[in-house]
Amino acid sequence: MAFPKTRELYREVCALLFFRYGITPTANRLYQLVRRGSMGTPTAVLGEFWAELREKSRVRIEHPDLPADLGAAAGELVATLWSRATASAEAALDALRAELEAQRAEAQQSVAAARDELGRVETALEQRTAALLAAQVEVRELDRAQAEGHAQRQALEAELARIGAALAARDRELVEVREGFSRDLTKQREAAERAEERLRASEKRALLEIDRERSAATKLQKELDEATRRADRKDADHRRASEAMQAQLGDARHQAGVLQGRLDAVQAENSRLQTEMMTLRETETRARESQQSAAPAGVRKAPRPTRSSRTVPAAKPATRRRKTV
């Protein structure tokens, strides 16, 4: 719905805020909601709204003979009385509501307490019932255990009678065994005495054997000591001979080293001579070839042996002399 006039729009907003939402309208709030016109428009509309509201809420008493001032005063009095009566009624209603609320809370507490008590009673009853059932079961078990105990007692009495008879038989057997044991013990004592006599004789023979073995051991120990001394002397002789052999071996090794040095020198000289001989042979061969190429083809003289063509005997390898140790 469109509002062509701004003042009517402000008036409708005032009525909505106050009557529908219970909010006291102000000029700033009206301007924030409508945002039309200037700030003076919501102020003027708000003043008119409050004046109209006071006018409508005023009680008027009209009577032909009643003056206007008295009618207005009477209306204000009636309005005041109505307001006070309404306030008193509301206070009484609030007190009644509070009393009813207290009674309701107390009743709820009583109901809750009764429910708790009922729950405790039911729990106790269940516990008593369970205890009674358990007691009945225990009584039945005790009766059964008593019957079983009676049967066991009878069986034990029969077993005791049987055991008593067996013990009497065992006592008789024990007497017989004791008599036999006494006879066997006497025989064992006699045998032990004879064995002890044989043991003493054996000890005497053993002592004699020990003396003989001790004498033989002493003699063997002396012979062993003498053999040890002889072995020590032989060991010393062998050690001295070994040291002499070691000295001779050192001398022989020294002489072998000297001879080896000489042999190396002779072998080096032999190698040098062989190299020179090969060089001379090559020189002689080249000279012979040059002479043959220079002489006429038909006349060729036999080459005379030169000194350089003589065969040089190869040096004999020096043999290593080894000193016989």
Q: CA–CA separation, 11 vs 248, rounded Å?
A: 152
pLDDT, residue 101, reads 83
Residue 22 lies in a domain: yes
Distances (CA, A) of 203 to 210, 212, 217: 10, 14, 20
Q: Position of tokens 């067996």?
A: 166
For the chain, percent helix, then strand, then coil, each to nearest 5?
A: 85, 0, 15
pLDDT, residue 163, reads 92
Which has the higher per-residue pLDDT, 97 or 105?
Answer: 105
Count of the separate structural domains present in the chain: 1
Residue 94 lies in a domain: no
Q: Position of tokens 């006497």?
A: 186
Which has the higher per-residue pLDDT, 86 or 183?
Answer: 183
Per-residue pLDDT band for 299 (boundaries 50, 70, 90) equals: very low
Which structural domain range is residue 41 located in?
1-57
Express each pLDDT in 98-155 by its tens digit: 887 888 888 889 889 988 998 898 998 999 998 889 889 999 889 888 898 888 889 9
Residue 197 lies in a domain: no
Residue 88 lies in a domain: no
Residue 93 lies in a domain: no
Per-residue pLDDT band for 192 (boundaries 50, 70, 90) equals: confident
Per-residue pLDDT band for 275 (boundaries 50, 70, 90) equals: very high
Which has the higher per-residue pLDDT, 287 or 71?
Answer: 287
pLDDT at position 312 over 50? no
Per-residue pLDDT band for 316 (boundaries 50, 70, 90) equals: very low
Residue 221 lies in a domain: no
Q: CA–CA separation, 256 vs 262, rounded Å?
A: 10
Residue 35 lies in a domain: yes
The per-residue DSSP string of 134-201 comes to HHHHHHHHHHHHHHHHHHHHHHHHHHHHHHHHHHHHHHHHHHHHHHHHHHHHHHHHHHHHHHHHHHHH
pLDDT, residue 78, reads 60
Residue 30 lies in a domain: yes
| 32-54 average pLDDT score | 87
By the 8 A CB rule, do 43 and 28 touch? Answer: no
Instruction: Give the predicted TM-score (pTM) of the model.
Output: 0.23
Express each pLDDT in 238-274 by its tens digit: 888 888 888 888 888 888 888 898 888 988 988 999 9
| 156-172 average pLDDT score | 89
Contacting residues for 292 by C-beta, under 8 A, at least 6 apart: 300
By the 8 A CB rule, do 306 and 281 touch? Answer: no
The per-residue DSSP string of 251-277 comes to HHHHHHHHHHHHHHHHHHHHHHHHHHH
